[in-house]
Amino acid sequence: MSAQAPRIGAAARTVRANGIDIHYLEQGEGEPLLLLHGGMVSTNPIWTGVPVAYASHMDALAEHFRVIAPDTRGCGRTPHTGGPITFDLLAGDVAALIEALSLERPLITGFSDGGIIATVVGIRHPDAVRAIVNDAGFDEFDPEARSFAMMRQFLGGSPEATKPDPDAAARLFEASEQMRPMFELMKRDQNAGQGDGHWRTYLQLSWDRTTKHPGYTYADFDRITVPTLILSGDRDEFCTVEQAVAAYRQLPDGELSIVPGHGHYIPPAAIETTIEFFERRTTNGA
């Protein structure tokens, strides 16, 4: 999982929206596409080659769309002004970003945390976007999701933890041969973006929104009025196929795609499916 040399030909920009300076990358032309990263990662090109990040896929997406990829609040190079960072707040940031950049109903997709944010945008701001892809970001709409205990384990040291513990998280990640390189990249990324030690703050800020139900269930998906694709791998350890079906069935204009043989990461097949969905629904005048 070692980082490769950056290959992203994107321009780095900043815009003032919702009271903060949102850092984002922009690449490509055509229909605007908001690209929302998942947890632990950012838009930083050091994530190129890491399968849970969009960095390796920016070029492919930019061949079809004007890609706008922001760092979410408190992550990477987008600061936070204080208080909890909820999914409602992050969705408000996205809505404000759309307005600040004068985007007219852009497409929006996100992976994991980013998929949750994209979906909350669809629920709370139904006229802000044209179509949505939720890639492995639908688990936490299930109040009984196993994801909450998993995130308490990751961020607090045990499934029964009641508060974040960055030191316990560090021990957990460093003990895993698979997770250790990603953890080291996360520390480098967060510290470079907002100062030494910010990785601890980032993990603490992630606690509330990832270990507790966001307040929306699959029943709220009937408030999403735009075409929406639920996308996941059939071996995803966070998002189950059963949850994907439950989410899909509540959508007024939904589609479902399960990528065989893949877990909680972004394979090229997921990017291809995302492009096909957006181009087909855009062409059809959605």
Read off the pTM: 0.95
At 33 the three-state DSSP class reads strand
Q: Is the separation of the CB atoms in 133 and 117 below 8 Å? A: no
Whole-number Å distance between alpha carbons of 105 and 285: 13
Q: Among candidates 120, 87, 115, 42, which has minimal Cα distance to 270?
A: 115
Helices (H), the chain: 58-62, 87-100, 113-124, 147-156, 166-174, 180-194, 198-211, 241-249, 268-283
- State how far the alpha carbon of 247 is from the alpha carbons of 134, 140, 219, in Å: 10, 11, 8
So where are the chain's domains? 11-145+217-283, 146-212
What would the pLDDT profile of 236-274 be if each residue is shown by its tens digit? 999 999 999 999 999 999 999 999 999 999 999 999 999
pLDDT at residue 11 greater than cutoff 70: yes
The residue-averaged pLDDT of 28-43 equals 97
pLDDT of residue 2: 35
Residues in Cβ contact with 122 at an 8 Å cutoff, skipping those fewer than 6 apart: 108, 129, 132, 223, 224, 225, 226, 228
Q: Is the separation of the CB atoms in 121 and 48 below 8 Å? A: no
Q: How confident is the model at residue 7 (pLDDT cuts 50, 70, 90)?
A: very low
Q: Among candidates 142, 110, 120, which has minimal Cα distance to 240?
A: 142
Task: Classify 11-145+217-283 by CATH class.
Answer: alpha beta
What would the pLDDT profile of 211-231 be if each residue is shown by its tens digit? 999 999 999 999 999 999 999
Whole-number Å distance between alpha carbons of 73 and 21: 9
Rg (CA), the chain: 17
Q: How confident is the model at residue 207 (pLDDT cuts 50, 70, 90)?
A: very high
pLDDT of residue 249: 98
What would the pLDDT profile of 120-175 be if each residue is shown by its tens digit? 999 999 999 999 999 999 999 999 999 999 999 999 999 999 999 999 999 999 99
Whole-number Å distance between alpha carbons of 98 and 104: 8
What would the pLDDT profile of 44-73 be if each residue is shown by its tens digit? 999 999 999 999 999 999 999 999 999 999
Q: How confident is the model at residue 282 (pLDDT cuts 50, 70, 90)?
A: confident
Tokens of 78: 């987008």
> Which element (helix H / strand E) includes 189?
helix 180-194
